[in-house]
Chain A
Amino acid sequence: DIVMTQSPDSLAVSLGERATINCKSSRNLLYSSNNKNYLAWYQQKPGQPPKLLIYWASTRESGVPDRFSGSGSGTDFTLTISSLQAEDVADYYCQQYESIPFTFGPGSKVDIK
């Protein structure tokens, strides 16, 4: 199975500052046939279901603010919140969907400093 790790486990960032979360896969998520990375990012606020932010590692889901961006390829990926807003306080998860069983990272908690 592909193991997903995330760092840091939690981070506190001042309003308006940049937040960066890293996700590492134990195997390459780049599928050579279509040159796509099978990596998604989700945001989950307390008491709510997860919400898709990014798929194919860097494609922003419709309606997601452009302060959220995804980057990386192969085994190393990053979610960046360019200017943290109060409503961004949440848990963030990466997920690989390249290989069954699909697996999530353990999550990273983002809070306000």
Chain B
Amino acid sequence: EVQLVESGGDLVQPGGSLRLSCAASGFTFSNYSMSWVRQVPGKGLEWVSVISGSGDRTYYADFLKGRFSISRDNSKNTLYLQMNSLRAEDTAVYFCAKGTGGSCYSALDSWGQGTLVTVSS
């Protein structure tokens, strides 16, 4: 059974940094692309970033303007999202999700429960 467990969400001040992690199990991690999607409570889904199965390709939403960085450690079956220069508008639940294949151009077939990031002074 596929399991994705996010961690690292916290209350952080504007301008601060945070690193989210997503521990994966139940599948061959390196064979699948992985994504981050966020959702402001009560609002819609917003795609954040994707990384290929091998980790050699990464893509980001335009609004991030270079503040976030996605990475993965296939030896640890773990996905990361390094978040810098955080703003109030980054406040959201952050989900990690597994792609249906190794390509970044995949639908998302398994999701974690999400971790809440709150940016506030």
A residues bordering B, Cβ < 8 Å? 1, 38, 40, 42, 44, 49-52, 55-56, 61, 93, 95, 97-98, 100-107
The answer to whether B112 and A97 touch across the interface, beta carbons within 8 angstroms, is no
> For B29, what are the chain A residues with a Cβ–Cβ distance below 8 Å?
none
- Cross-chain pairs A/B with CB under 8 angstroms, 18 sampled: A40-B107, A40-B108, A49-B112, A50-B45, A50-B97, A52-B100, A52-B108, A55-B100, A55-B107, A56-B107, A93-B44, A95-B108, A97-B105, A97-B106, A102-B35, A102-B50, A104-B45, A104-B47
Any A CB within 8 A of the CB of B11: no
Residue among A49, A101, A106 making CB contact with B47, cutoff 8 Å: A101
The answer to whether A1 and B62 touch across the interface, beta carbons within 8 angstroms, is yes
* Number of B interface residues in the complex (CB < 8 A): 25
A61 to B108, CA, bound (A): 11
Q: How far is the CB of B10 from chain A (nearest CB, A)?
A: 19
Any A CB within 8 A of the CB of B60: yes
Interface of chain A, helix or strand or loop or mixed? loop
Most buried by B among A49, A98, A100, A103: A49
Residues facing A in B41-97 (CB within 8 A) are 44-47, 50, 59-62, 95, 97
Residue of A nearest to B104 (CB): A100
> For B108, what are the chain A residues with a Cβ–Cβ distance below 8 Å?
40, 42, 50, 52, 95
Any A CB within 8 A of the CB of B111: yes
Residue of A nearest to B61 (CB): A101
The answer to whether B62 and A101 touch across the interface, beta carbons within 8 angstroms, is yes
> For A55, what are the chain B residues with a Cβ–Cβ distance below 8 Å?
100, 107, 109
Q: How far is the CB of B103 from chain A (nearest CB, A)?
A: 9
> For A102, what are the chain B residues with a Cβ–Cβ distance below 8 Å?
35, 47, 50
